[in-house]
Amino acid sequence: MVYCFFYNTTNERVFHPPGLTKAAISIPIQRFKRTYGCTIGTGKLLKKSSKGKKFKVEILDPVVMGICTFIGFGPDAVPKSKFKDSLQKKYLIENKDLVFKKTGKNACIFVVDPEDCDVTPIAPKKK
């Protein structure tokens, strides 16, 4: 069973991850809606203080991941799972890479290069 799917900038699946991989996702990218345009890399603006906050996320050539929680940066941010085990065997996660968790429909964990990720903050709901 496959626990980790690797993709390049143009959403094509990569089978030899080093160098070409821009995103790793725990489910196939085809489950998400694609939109027109391209990402501009606003993910570079995330800081440690952004951890735990929700963002509307688009990755690669853009695929709309939806509302996701920013978990953190680099390999230590990836939760312990079969996804992480598979990821560690096949891909070197850099400390700058962004880690997100999506819940609800198409729940998954994904790691993406900040240059290939756009984020829009989601305001917390008022009570």
Q: How far apart are CA 14 and CA 21, in angstroms?
A: 7
Please give the residue range of the domain that contains residue 30. 5-121
> Is residue 99 in a domain?
yes
Residue among 12, 25, 16 at smallest CA distance from 113: 25
Render pLDDT for 18-37 as a digit per residue (tens, 0 to 9): 667 899 999 999 999 999 88
Render pLDDT for 75-118 as a digit per residue (tens, 0 to 9): 999 999 999 888 888 777 889 999 999 999 999 999 999 999 99
- pTM over cut 0.95: no
> Is residue 35 in a domain?
yes
Q: How far apart are CA 86 and CA 34, in angstroms?
A: 26
> Is residue 112 in a domain?
yes
Neighbouring residues of 54: CB distance < 8 A, sequence distance ≥ 6 = 67, 68, 69, 70, 121, 122, 124
Render pLDDT for 40-58 as a digit per residue (tens, 0 to 9): 999 999 999 999 999 999 9
| Token pair listed for 81 | 């799972």
